[in-house]
Amino acid sequence: MSIDLSQFHQVFFEESFEGLDVMESQLLDLDPANVDAETVNTIFRAAHSIKGGAGTFGFMQVSDFTHVVETLLDEIRSGTRSMTREYVDLFLQSVDCLRAMLSSLQAGDEPDGGRAASLKSEFEAILNGGEAASATQSQETAPADDKPAGWRVTFIPTEDLLQTGNEPFRMFRELQELVGDEHMRVVADTSYLPEFTNLTPECCYLRWLIEITTDIEKSAIESVFEWVADECEISIEPLDSVVADAPAAQENNAEDGAADADESSAPVIPAAVTAAVGAANAAASASAQKSNAQKAAKSAEPSSIRVSIDKVDSLINMVGELVITQSMLGQLGQDFDMSRLARLQEGLSQLEQNTRELQESVMKIRMMPISFAFSRFPRLVRDLGSQLGKKVNLVMLGESTELDKTVMEKIGDPLVHLVRNSMDHGLEKTADRLASGKSEEGKITLNAYHQGGNIVIEVSDDGAGLNEEKILAKARQKQLVPDSVELSPEEIHQLIFMPGFSTADVVSDISGRGVGMDVVRRNINELNGTIEVRSQRGKGSTFIIRLPLTLAILDGQLVQVKNETYIFPLVSIVESIQLQKRSLNNITGTQHVMKLRDEYIPIIRLDHIFGLRDEDEEFENPMLVVVEGDTEKVGIVVDDLLGQQQVVIKSLEQNYQKVPGISGATILGDGTVALIIDISGVGNNIESHPHSPRPEQAA
């Protein structure tokens, strides 16, 4: 069979990562003392699909490793072994290991077998050292140990085997080629043939017993049957250990039911099984998300998105309506006179409504529930908790809140950082908690909800809260704040977002290097979002992230500079005022500042930094737009304020390159292009500006 399987690799990887996520989340939910059979089944099925897929595609390292994992899971599932915390840890490690293996395979590298081998030997030690497992399973575990003289294969196809296009004799022939004519004996069992009158010619009633008398690998036999694994019951047993009565073995298999059939048989085609698992488990697609994110980071591979069929259907409906409106308008236009003006207006307003609805539903396609971003946290909190010796209860709320896929991908890392921070700095040590009358178990809450056109994500802990004195002392020590200045608690809280700030006494590998919060803040600002912190001593702190629902649309303020129109993101504008010449000052001759109420804010002339005007050219009635960039308020001088409108963000980099001070472009109502100002980019520029000497320099 010469199908190029590599075209399915991407699907296999995506589904396997999904499967791993399912395993992980189920393992974390698992309470070893009180094991839910269905949970174990779900984990088992996920592992089994990965094994099957890996086998099909020839990733033998993955399938071999998954096999031992699966074997132990099966023993737990069948009740011969009970779940313990050690097993859960081992399984979680295996999930990590598999994920690493699959990632390197996906990248086209050879996976590092060392970790898998050591984990595998741990599994084998458990399996072999444990209480006597059922006969077939132990054989399955270590078939290589006792090199059997041959194999007895019992092959019981389902009746519709032939209808799925599988031909048993082809497989027998393949086996024959594998082992040679003289080492194989095939016996057909015709006892299940119905009476001739009841016989359906398309059905397969025969069963086969195949004896192979050579020491071929069991996996080789399995691979012959792997395409029919779903349509048959098959058992492969070492020849010498099998008791002569085959019917008994068959009965055993029949009792164990369908699930056992694929467990003991060869790999199955992954799509069928994962589809079932995935559909049942909404959380499953989370991994598609994550793996996509990883992919995007690594290379420019096109990433995919899973869209529920409802969303697609509603889209199709709307396009249908649009077509109807269009044909209605078209008819109207063919012989139009003024008497039909009312109908035309009606049609146009219908068109407007259709367009708006269509736009909204297209946007919805990119929206995904935030549970995709949240799903990694149970594991993270669990691992980190045991590392830090803190007991932590993670509460996640509003997981179905939807936000844009791109925003989601970019918010993951900052959220991880915040949660790590909360666990390391926020929550006190268990002893301290008890001393201050709190419960032993710390609580971290992740909450997401919509507010206006924004999504708000809160990360809160019930720890000690921010220590204002310590922060202020540290800031003074690092000379971020002059000694003479007194700050309000809120202002002190903001200090933690300053670059290079950390109050952790000991730098751990979790946090404390002081590269954290400013990066978090910058990442969030890049998404046109904001972050603030609220904290109460002894009660805990809450980080509040506000993000736009989508990156594709922005509320913009149109401004005019000379003949050009630019767009300021509305979120960053603090206020707009008439520029008063007399309130302008300059420091060190190069930098204008303006006194605005109690503050001095630096002034940037957009026409200068964009090279639109010469320095000495004056202009009338300038407006000052006060914006808040990364940290500081900055005043930007423009000629005039035009309207406000929602603009669709288009990439300038796609066909051109990154332009300093410009974050993107958009198309205005008249079809012309307007550029969107990158506030922090413009703001950062004020220190180093070699281009235009300012008037003061010349003077």
Partner 1 sequence: MSAVAETVNEAGSVHEQQYLTFMMADEEYGVDILAVQEIRGWEESTMIPNAPEYIRGVINLRGTIVPIMDLRMRFGLQQVSYSPVTVVIILKVESSHGERVMGIVVDAVSDVYTISDQSTRKPPELTEDRNSAFIKGLVNVNDKMVILLDVNELLKIPASSHVPGLANN
The bridge status of strand 673-677 relative to strand 564-569 is parallel
* Among 612, 623, 641, 642, interactor with partner 1 by CB under 8 A: 612
Smallest distance from the beta carbon of 74 to partner 1, in angstroms?
Answer: 46
675 interacts with partner 1 by CB under 8 A: yes
Q: Catalytic residue, from 18, 70, 75, 468: name it.
A: 70
User: What's the CA gap between 133 and 80, in Å, rounded?
Assistant: 7
DSSP string of 221-277, one letter each residue: HHHHHGGGGGGEEEEEEETTTS-S-HHHHHHHHHHHHHHHHHHHS----HHHHHHHH
* Among 122, 256, 399, 564, interactor with partner 1 by CB under 8 A: 564
As a whole number of Å, the end-to-end CA separation of the chain is 84
Q: Which of 339/672 has CB closer to partner 1?
A: 672
* Among 83, 481, 661, 679, interactor with partner 1 by CB under 8 A: 661
627 interacts with partner 1 by CB under 8 A: no
Q: Which of 114/690 has CB closer to partner 1?
A: 690
Residue 586: both structure tokens together: 């300059």
Smallest distance from the beta carbon of 550 to partner 1, in angstroms?
Answer: 17
671 interacts with partner 1 by CB under 8 A: yes
* Among 100, 203, 380, 609, interactor with partner 1 by CB under 8 A: 609
Task: Catalogue the long-range contacts made by 570-577 (C-beta closer than 8 Å, 24 or more residues apart).
Answer: 570/644, 571/528, 571/530, 572/528, 572/627, 572/628, 572/629, 572/679, 573/625, 573/626, 573/627, 574/626, 574/627, 574/628, 574/633, 575/626, 576/623, 576/624, 576/625, 576/626, 576/641, 577/623, 577/624, 577/626
142 interacts with partner 1 by CB under 8 A: no
Q: Which stretch binds partner 1 (CB under 8 A): 132-140, 325-333, 584-592, 605-613?
A: 605-613
- For CA atoms 319, 323, 328, 332, give the dihedral sign: positive
One-letter amino acid at 691 equals H
688 interacts with partner 1 by CB under 8 A: yes
691 interacts with partner 1 by CB under 8 A: yes
116 interacts with partner 1 by CB under 8 A: no
Respond yes or no: is residue 48 known to be catalytic: yes
Backbone φ and ψ for 643, nearest 5 degrees, come out as -80, 180
Q: Which of 602/681 has CB closer to partner 1?
A: 681
Respond yes or no: is residue 70 known to be catalytic: yes
Q: Catalytic residue, from 253, 281, 354, 421: name it.
A: 421
Q: Which of 340/689 has CB closer to partner 1?
A: 689
User: What's the CA gap between 489 and 535, in Å, rounded?
Assistant: 9
User: What's the CA gap between 477 and 498, in Å, rounded?
Assistant: 14
Q: Which of 246/686 has CB closer to partner 1?
A: 686
Residue 217: both structure tokens together: 């690998």
* Among 1, 33, 690, 699, interactor with partner 1 by CB under 8 A: 690
Q: Which of 181/687 has CB closer to partner 1?
A: 687
Nearest to 51 by CA among 286, 244, 219: 219
Residue 554 near residue 461 (C-beta atoms within 8 A): no
Q: What residues between 287 and 306 interact with partner 1 by CB under 8 A?
A: 300
User: What's the CA gap between 235 and 248, in Å, rounded?
Assistant: 12
Helices (H), 478-576: 489-495, 517-526
Q: Which stretch binds partner 1 (CB under 8 A): 75-83, 185-193, 385-393, 675-683?
A: 675-683
665 interacts with partner 1 by CB under 8 A: yes
Smallest distance from the beta carbon of 620 to partner 1, in angstroms?
Answer: 22
Respond yes or no: is residue 620 known to be catalytic: no
Q: Which of 204/675 has CB closer to partner 1?
A: 675
Smallest distance from the beta carbon of 37 to partner 1, in angstroms?
Answer: 49
Residue 15 near residue 47 (C-beta atoms within 8 A): no
600 interacts with partner 1 by CB under 8 A: no
Question: Taking CA 220 as the corner, what is the angle to CA 271 and CA 202, rounded to the nearest 5 degrees?
Answer: 60
674 interacts with partner 1 by CB under 8 A: yes
Which positions are catalytic? 48, 70, 421
Residues lying near partner 1 in the complex (CB under 8 A) are found at: 300, 564, 609-612, 650-652, 654-657, 659-662, 665, 667, 671-675, 681-682, 684-685, 688-692
